[in-house]
Structure 1
Amino acid sequence: MFRPRLGIALILSLSLGVAACGSGGDSDEGADAKSLTLWHYEAPNSAMGIAWNKAIELFKTSHPGVEVKFEEKSFEQIQQNAGMILNSDSAPDILEYNKGNATSGLLSKQGLLTDLTDEVTARGWDKKLSPSLQTTAKYDDDGIMGSGKFFGVPNYGEYVMVYYNKDQFKKYNLAVPTTYEEFTKAMDTFVQNKVTPVANGGAEYPAQQIFYELALSKADRAWVDDYQLYKNKVDFKGPQLTYAAQTYADWVAKGYIGKDSAGIKAEDMGVSFIQGKFPIMYSGSWWYGRFADEIKNFEWGTFLFPGSSLHPGSSGNLWVVPEKSKAKKLAYDFIDITMTPEIQNLLGNSGGVPVAADTAAITGDKNKELIDNFAKLSAADGLAFYPDWPAPGFQDTLTSGVQGLINGSSTPQKLLEDLQKPYDENLADLGK
């Protein structure tokens, strides 16, 4: 997903003179291109936003005459319109895009993305990416991740965790929960004191990530592989998703999640936590650097969702090069800069999860904890990707379905039925 991933989508149009590109090449690859159009959708003070903006500065230095222009768009706008945009003459030369079967996989299957395999090998990017991180960068002829050709390059990782307001936990004498039972007891305490525990964004991806984590708490790796990689058929009325749907509805009924959160967007959810309005927020590591920068009035921390060995997470979004790019060599140069120690270390020290940083160069206890937890999850095979990945358009189906549980317009049974249909239709399209 998404990360999405959050905040502002920055569409950068970089105009440059004929540049001496490090990779050389013929005119078909845009080696003599005079401009590069680059898109990314990170908030300027997020870890990725800081790192990518620095990468742009370095790119301008190595490619003199660069002019940078910004146009604001949201992650959702790019998510919904990428296929149409990349199939037009207005396609950018490089963009940061969501990974997974339903997004990058679909575009690769449609022939809209450049095969980067040779470039990945030639520039040594493959040596900087662990096998688990390469999963979301490779897609087969059906657009299914995990094998085949490289159609993108991730240069950060991400995972979903519980952010909590230490001051509010202390106010009610609550310790960091280590079991699911302790977690629900903590939320009960907040409700009893007329405090809605969980900040939620029902109008976008955050709400469905809670739903998915609840399913993962009853799942194993085999179930994740069936759901994400189509190794076996998934019964949406099986124990994992049935538990998730019913428990989510119970959380709403108990007041853990506000019924008014159905229309809240991710950005507003994050701002509400920054303002101290909620003691708990369940979302991704992409918020980490921003919280470190913007939270001034209380102490905060994180913990992994208790009672589960699997958590939403993966490599970060991918840098992809549209097939219609007119400046592919320049695009490869930019990706190369994002993989350098300077940018990777900056990413880690800004609250991100770099894939190729010098760990000795990472400072600050919070930054080290964030990166160490990701390393532990990766080593334990605990990253379970995201709920919307299996089928094109599944994010919209999940969002509307979980919204129904929040505002009471749907039921757990109906949600599962609504999810099963598009999932099975996608399998049929793939001949599975």
Structure 2
Amino acid sequence: MQRRILHPALAFAAAALVLTGCAPGGTAGSAPASAEKPSTDLGSEEITLSLISTPESGASTKATIAAFEKEYPNVTVEYQQTNYDDYNKSVNLELNSDKAPDIALLNSVNNTVKNGLVLDLDPYAGLYDWTDKYPENQLNQWRVGENGTTLGDGPLYAAPAGFSEVGLYYNKRIAAELGITAPTTFAEFEEQLATAAAAGVLPLQLGNAEGHASFLVQSIGQSTDGAGAYADWAFGKSGSTFDTEGNRKGAEALADWAAKGWIPSDANGVNLQGAVDAFVSGKGLFLVDGNWDASKIAEGLGADAGFVPFPGDNVTAIGTSVAYAISSSTEHPNAAAAFLNFLGSPEASANQFEQGFMPLDPTAATPEEGTLQADLVSAWSKISEADGLVGFNNNASPTMNDTLTASSQELLAGRATPDEFLAAVQADWDETHGGN
């Protein structure tokens, strides 16, 4: 069920999924329908919560519900899932209806928060010590400023339930035949691309029908600029520009690699799963992709599958979390918050890891040594230690997903220059954030 820029196995926040057109449901941070004061004590009253999600993102959450109900025997969680496209078209309407769920998967925060449809979770973050449990950059993607568009600061509106990471997959067999090991610097990476091309091996597998070339630009950009500075633009911080040293380097590299034939000539007509299929069949030394495709790659390449953080001056990764919010209409905000807190438990984390996510509790990540899963965990540890996780550029505006797709396709086809690519992306950003 691959579509658009991001693989639905994570169903993470894609800007194309920012929802519009629903009637306002109040103001951001509005009080819940219940008169409950924030508390960790759920009492003994029988409570029923409703939770909505998608089959992909909800896979680990659904498995966690039984463990939560065992921990809180007076609470029942009724789970409902809707296919990815329909969910993202209807979630704001659901939250604004008379039958609003108590807990909802949140793929985007902007209009949901602006319309007052979900609760400010800061009181519960304090009660449950979420700011101590989770690295700052893993929560900041779900913080929204007073203007309703700037992310990274302000109240917290969703809690994480497992994380994604985008990095560099490589074919160990091909690498060994070429006499190379996994690169750690960008210069080394480009040298290895050239080595592969000279040997008649496709250097870099890529499918860009849904704009996944933007993964390359962002990976190069943030590993050059550094996660902290780079995240300002993705979060909509006033005065930010896409025309940075790193993004220019990324755009120029992408155009250059296409011109040299280092990526498939038909990349604009192939989606991500098509590229993954080609990679696991042995076509390509490298592939930039996320952990949601790790199982498929491990199954296809076996011991030949490897993964490292994208090589650059700074250890970074594109990534975000599956995240859940509490409806402003809930009558049981304390019980809903207890469920969100339980998503960081050992039981929930084990479920997250089994489904391919990086778990909230790192002790749940216990892969077999020498496997692709072990590489993913090792990379995640380095990224977390460096505070290097950056949200997807595609979240920067309601239309950024479409803009990145169209402009990267023009860049690959030689119909746009790096300058034109950078300008097109910034123009889209300005439509949403220019007045910040």
Q: Would you say same fold, with TM above 0.5? A: yes
Q: 1:54 aligns with which of 59, 63, 84?
A: 63
Which shifted more, 337-346 or 232-241?
A: 232-241
Q: Which residue identity lines up with residue 122 of structure 2 in the other structure?
A: T
2:113–2:157 CA contact under 8 A, matched in 1: yes
**2:410 paired residue number:** 404
Matched, 1:40 2:54: yes
Deviations 1:86-120 (Å, cap 9, x if unpaired)?
A: 4456765433333xxxx324421232322222333
1:136 corresponds, among 138, 141, 145, to 141
User: Is the contact made by 2:349 and 2:360 (CA closer than 8 Å) also made in structure 1?
Assistant: yes
> Residue 220 and residue 121 in structure 1: after superposition, are their counterparts in 2 closer, same or farther (change >3 A)?
closer
Selected match of 1:109 from 85, 94, 114? 114
Name the aligned partner's letter for residue 397 of structure 2: A
Match of 1:206 among 212, 221, 226: 212
Matched, 1:94 2:94: no
Q: How does 1:169-318 map to 2 (within 5 A)?
A: 169-204=175-210, 206-220=212-226, 223-229=229-235, 233-292=239-298, 294-295=299-300, 297=302, 299-318=304-323
8 Å contact 1:160–1:311 — kept in the other structure? Answer: no
Cα contact 1:135–1:146 (8 A) shared by 2: yes
- Which shows bigger deviation, 348-357 or 395-404? 348-357
- Equivalent AA in structure 1 for residue 194 of structure 2: D
Give the whole-Å Cα distance in 2 for the aligned partners of 1:358 and 1:249: 42
| Counterpart-to-counterpart distance in 2, 1:223 and 1:121 | 27
Match of 2:83 among 72, 82, 93: 72
What's 1:352 paired with? 357
Residue number among 101, 120, 126 corresponding to 1:121 in the alignment: 126
SS at match of 1:148: strand
- Report the Cα distance in structure 1 between the residues aligned to 2:348 and 2:43, rounded to whole angstroms: 25
* 2:368 corresponds to: 364
SS of 1:36's equivalent? strand
Q: Distance in 2 between matches of 1:8 and 1:287?
A: 10
Q: Distance in 2 between matches of 1:236 and 1:134?
A: 23
1:133–1:171 CA distance, 2 compared to 1 (3 A): same
The one-character-per-residue Cα deviations of 1:126-152 (angstroms, maximum 9, x if unpaired) are 442232322123222223223322200
Whether the 8 Å CA contact 1:25–1:329 is kept in 2: the answer is no
Q: Distance in 1 between matches of 2:343 and 2:198?
A: 48
* Identical counterparts, % of pairs: 24
Kept in 1: contact 2:5–2:210 (CA 8 A): no
Amino acid at match of 1:55: T
Aligned counterparts, 1:368-407, within 5 A: 368-407=374-413
Rounded to whole Å, the distance in 2 between the matches of 1:241 and 1:346 is: 36
Displacement of 1:162 in angstroms is: 0.5
The CA RMSD over aligned residues, in Å, is: 3.7
Give the superposition deviation at 1:210.
Answer: 0.5
Q: Distance in 1 between matches of 2:78 and 2:117?
A: 27
Distance of aligned partners of 1:133 and 1:78 in 2 relative to their CA distance in 1, 3 Å threshold: same
Report the CA distance between 1:63 and its aligned residue.
Answer: 7.0
SS in 1 for 2:389: coil
Given the two structures, how large is their TM-score scaled by the length of structure 2?
Answer: 0.77
Deviations for 1:5-49, whole angstroms, at most 9, x for unmatched residues?
533879xxxxxxxxxxx964899xxx744x624213527xxxx84
Give the Cα–Cα distance (whole angstroms) in 2 for the partners of residues 3 and 336 of structure 1: 30
Distance 1:108 1:57 in 2: 30
How far apart, CA to CA, are the structure 2 residues paired with 1:3 and 1:416?
A: 18
The answer for the alignment partner of 2:8 in structure 1 is 6
- Residues 3 and 322 of structure 1: CA distance in aligned 2, closer, same or farther (over 3 Å): farther
**Alpha-carbon distance between aligned partners in 2 of 1:195 and 1:333, rounded to the nearest angstrom:** 52
Structure 1 residue 166, shift from structure 2 partner: 0.9
Aligned-pair distance for 1:179?
A: 2.9
Q: How many residues align?
A: 402
Q: Report SS of the residue matched to 1:353.
A: coil
How far, CA to CA, are the matches of 2:407 and 2:428 in structure 1? Answer: 12
Query: Separation in 2 of the partners of 1:382 and 1:210?
Result: 16
Q: Is the 8 A contact 1:202 1:399 kept in 2?
A: yes
Write the distance in 2 (CA, Å) between the matches of 1:200 and 1:90.
43
Q: Is the 8 A contact 1:202 1:262 kept in 2?
A: yes
Q: 1:175 to 1:371 in 2, by over 3 A?
A: closer
Distance 1:377 1:6 in 2: 23
- Cα separation, 2, equivalents of 1:422 and 1:145: 17
Task: Decide whether the 8 Å contact of 1:158 with 1:374 is kept in 2.
Answer: no
> Contact conserved, 2:158 with 2:326, CA < 8 A, in 1?
yes
SS of corresponding position for 1:423:
helix
Residues 120, 234 of structure 1: alpha-carbon distance in 2 compared, 3 angstrom cutoff:
closer
Report if aligned partners of 1:401, 1:410 keep a CA contact under 8 Å in 2.
Answer: yes
Question: Match of 1:318, SS?
Answer: strand
Does the 8 A contact of 1:5 with 1:41 survive in 2?
Answer: no
CA deviation string 1:224-269 (max 9, x = no partner): 2542345562444453333222221111111222231213333333
